[in-house]
Structure 1
């Protein structure tokens, strides 16, 4: 929905709320502004302008078509607002998943560099907090992540490939394929750790 159409709808809806607010405003004005019966200007303004205007607004608020229009437009405004909120939530989730993909790819590159030397898993001890953070973020989005068994593997190739493949799909915005890819690594890890 275009921005100007959304503003137009909210503007019309705001105007339709005026007859609903009119009784409250009238009471407040009578108690605070028009309270002095001896002031001639206040009495004239109240009788000539304020009272007829509020009476017309109250009469408008009682019309059947007005009530229908208000309810209908409230539904439209609510629907537009929910759609906008849903879109923003989806955009935020997509951004977080792309960021997670980037983090996965970065971890893959770091582990590959470290795995050139011997000493797995001790040579990635300082990367464990970053890996645990990435795993926690992935779990939040219901992605399968390897458990502690991955550190008992003879080398880091499993973890490098997992981070690389799943991370690439996440960065590209292919979230369903990334989820399937992540799950496809589970049987391999299960089989390796059982043997």
Structure 2
């Protein structure tokens, strides 16, 4: 829905709310502002403006079509608001998944570079917190990840490939394919960790 159409819809809905709050506002004005017969506000506004305006809004609120229109527009406004919140939530989740994909791929490269020169897992003790953090974040999105037994693998090649492949799919925004890819690595990462 376009921005100007949303503003128009919310504006009309706001105008329809005025007859609902008009009696309360009129009562408050009569008790607080117009209660002093000698006051300036009473002399200037009471008969000239306030009473006809509130009478108009009270009469509008009594029209048979008014409640139907208000309920109808309230439903539309609630639907538009829920759709906007859902879209915003989906955009935030997509952004977090792209960021997670970048972290996966970055970690894969770091592990690959470090283990090329010396053994696994002795060459990456400082990367363990980052790896655990990334894997924990992936679990929150219900993505299969290896557990801490991954450090018992004979080498890091499967782990690096897992991180690289799944990370690329997450960065591309293909979450369902990333989920399938992660599950396809499960036998390799769990089997190697047990032996």
What TM-score range do you get, normalising by the shorter chain?
Answer: over 0.9
CA distance in 2, matches of 1:26, 1:115: 77
CA RMSD of superposed structures (Å): 1.5
Q: 2-side partners of 1:142 and 1:40: how far apart?
A: 67
List gaps (5 residues or longer) in structure 2. none
Answer yes or no: is 1:184 the counterpart of 2:177.
no
Q: Distance in 2 between matches of 1:108 and 1:57?
A: 67
Matched, 1:67 2:87: no
Alignment map for 1:148-187 (pairs within 5 Å): 148-187=148-187
2:140 maps to 1:140: yes
Q: Secondary structure at the match of 1:122?
A: coil
Distance 1:187 1:16 in 2: 61
Report the 3-state secondary structure (helix = DSSP H, G, I; strand = E; otherwise coil) of the residue aligned with 1:123. coil
* Equivalences, count: 195
Deviations along 1:130-167, one digit per CA (max 9) or x if unpaired, are 10110111001000000122111111101100100000
1:126 aligns with 126
Task: Give TM-score scaled by structure 2 length.
Answer: 0.95
Q: 3-state SS of the aligned residue for 1:116?
A: helix
- Which structure 2 residues correspond to residues 26-37 of structure 1 after superposition, within 5 A? 26-37=26-37
1:93 Cα offset (Å): 0.2
Q: Which runs of 5+ in 1 are unaligned?
A: none
Deviation at 1:191, TM superposition (A): 2.8
Distance (whole Å) between structure 1 residues aligned to residue 62 and residue 164 of structure 2: 65
Find the residue that maps to 2:143 and give its secondary structure: coil
Report SS of the residue matched to 2:37. Answer: coil
After superposition, the Cα gap between the structure-2 partners of 1:155 and 1:49, relative to the gap in structure 1 and judged at 3 Å, is same
Match of residue 110 from structure 1? 110
Shift of 1:194: 4.2
- SS for the counterpart of 2:185 is helix
Question: CA offsets, 1:62-117, max 9 Å, x none?
Answer: 21201100010000001000000000000000000000000000000000101112
CA distance in 2, matches of 1:120, 1:146: 16
